[in-house]
Amino acid sequence: MATTSARTLRLLSLLGTGRTRSGAELCARLEVSERTLRRDVEVLREMGYAVDPVKGVGGGYRLGPGGALPPVVLDEDQVVAVVVALQTASTALLGIEESARRALSTLRQVMPRRLRGDAELPVTPVVNQWEFPAEPIAAGLVREVGAAVRRRQVLRLDVDDEAVRVEPHHLVVWAARWYLVAFDLWAGRWRVLRLDRVTLHPPTGSGFAERPLPEGGPVEFVRHTPDRGDRPAPWPCLGHVDLALPAAVVAEFAPGGAVVEAVTTTSCRLTMGAWSWSGLAGLYLTFGAEMGRVEPVELREAFTAARELLGRAVGGG
More confident residue, 147 or 91: 147
Q: Which domains does the chain have, with CATH numbers?
A: 4-63 (1.10.10.10), 76-222 (no CATH), 237-315 (3.30.70)
Distance CA 137, CA 258 (A): 18
Tell me how long the chain is: 317
Backbone conformation region of residue 48, classed left if phi is above 0, alpha if psi is from -120 to 50, else beta: left
Angle at 98 between CA 96 and CA 99, to 5 degrees: 65
Percent over 90 (pLDDT), the chain: 38
Mean pLDDT of 234-247: 94
Q: Are 306 and 298 in contact (CB under 8 A)?
A: no
**What pLDDT, in 10s, does the model give residues 139-172?**
778 888 988 998 999 999 999 888 999 999 999 8
Q: Please say if the pLDDT value at position 241 is more than 70.
A: yes
pTM over 0.75: no
**What pLDDT, in 10s, does the model give residues 43-88?**
888 877 888 888 876 678 887 765 545 555 555 666 666 777 777 6
Q: Is the dihedral angle over the CA atoms 108, 109, 111, 115 positive or is it negative?
A: positive
**What pLDDT, in 10s, does the model give residues 175-221?**
778 899 999 999 999 999 999 889 999 989 899 998 999 999 999 99
